[in-house]
Amino acid sequence: MSLSVHALSVRVHRAQLLHDITLEVAPGECLGLIGPNGSGKSTLMRSLAGLLRPRAGEVRLQGQPLARLSARTRAQRIALVEQQADTTDRLRVREAVELGRTPYLSPLRGWSPQDDARVDRALAAVEMTALADRLWHTLSGGEQQRVHIARALAQDPEVLLLDEPTNHLDIRHQLALLALVRELRITRVIALHDLNQALGCDRLALLDGGRLRAIGRPEEVLTEAALRRHFGVGAIRTTDPSGQPALHFTHAL
């Protein structure tokens, strides 16, 4: 499903957080969202999920304004994994993942064995099957993050929005998660701080100061000049021993 943003401006408490953003994510594409701290990545993510009402402009899903879709339809189509998601409920891991099936349940359509199977697959995808009965609040930060991702997968969305999903994860789980995200055929938007990881996206959108500064293939966006201007670092573009492009950061400016 395509996701598009048209002249989007977002204001919160008199602060203008996003300015006139226009971009399009093609069906099945993985768009990486990059930018320094406070550049507006999470704000854009929340806008893409329909959680923030724009001051001007709109987000469209397959050409349809998000604002016109019911909350239930939106939840069936879009899943968001936020940066600092928490829950105060006394939930077990499996119950937290089962919440992903909520948009599909109704008085006429109760919980079914297919829902159980979907939850099983989601838990297995993030290697949390063994911890399915643990209480949420006893998990480590990285384990909680993996449960959030499982909940989003169980939601069976057509658009998956991941806000810094590798935060808290050890290196093996970071690589496993990125491989999992790469294999999904759905439309994905993923905010990343690790710019070497961002090189693996189909395209990158670079935000700075709430404005879209560049969008294109990773090598077009992550130039040494852009790294200097927008991230304030000296960097050298290089290739790793396997021939893949890589960035070597030298110093903060």
Ligand X SMILES: Nc1ncnc2c1ncn2[C@@H]1O[C@H](COP(=O)(O)OP(=O)(O)OP(=O)(O)O)[C@@H](O)[C@H]1O
* Positions that interact with ligand X (CB under 6 A): 12-13, 15, 17, 35, 37-43
Give exposure, 64-81, as e/b (b: 16+ Cβ within 10 Å). Answer: eebeebeeeebbbbbbbb
- Min. distance of Cβ 86 from ligand X in angstroms? 16
Residues 6 or more apart from 2 whose CB is under 8 A from it? Answer: 24, 25, 26, 27, 60, 61, 62, 63, 187
Minimum CB distance to ligand X smaller for 136 or for 231:
231
- Min. distance of Cβ 87 from ligand X in angstroms? 20
- Min. distance of Cβ 158 from ligand X in angstroms? 24
- Min. distance of Cβ 43 from ligand X in angstroms? 3
Tokens standing for residue 186:
């759905």
Minimum CB distance to ligand X smaller for 36 or for 142:
36
Residues 6 or more apart from 86 whose CB is under 8 A from it? Answer: none
- Min. distance of Cβ 82 from ligand X in angstroms? 10
Minimum CB distance to ligand X smaller for 158 or for 164:
164
Nearest 10 degrees: Cα torsion 150, 205, 25, 121: -10
- Min. distance of Cβ 17 from ligand X in angstroms? 4
Neighbouring C-alpha atoms within 13 Å toward the C-beta of 73: 9
Minimum CB distance to ligand X smaller for 13 or for 251:
13
Minimum CB distance to ligand X smaller for 132 or for 189:
189
Minimum CB distance to ligand X smaller for 25 or for 34:
34
Phi-psi category of residue 196: left, alpha or beta, with phi > 0 → left and psi -120 to 50 → alpha: alpha
Consecutive H or E run containing 64:
strand 64-65
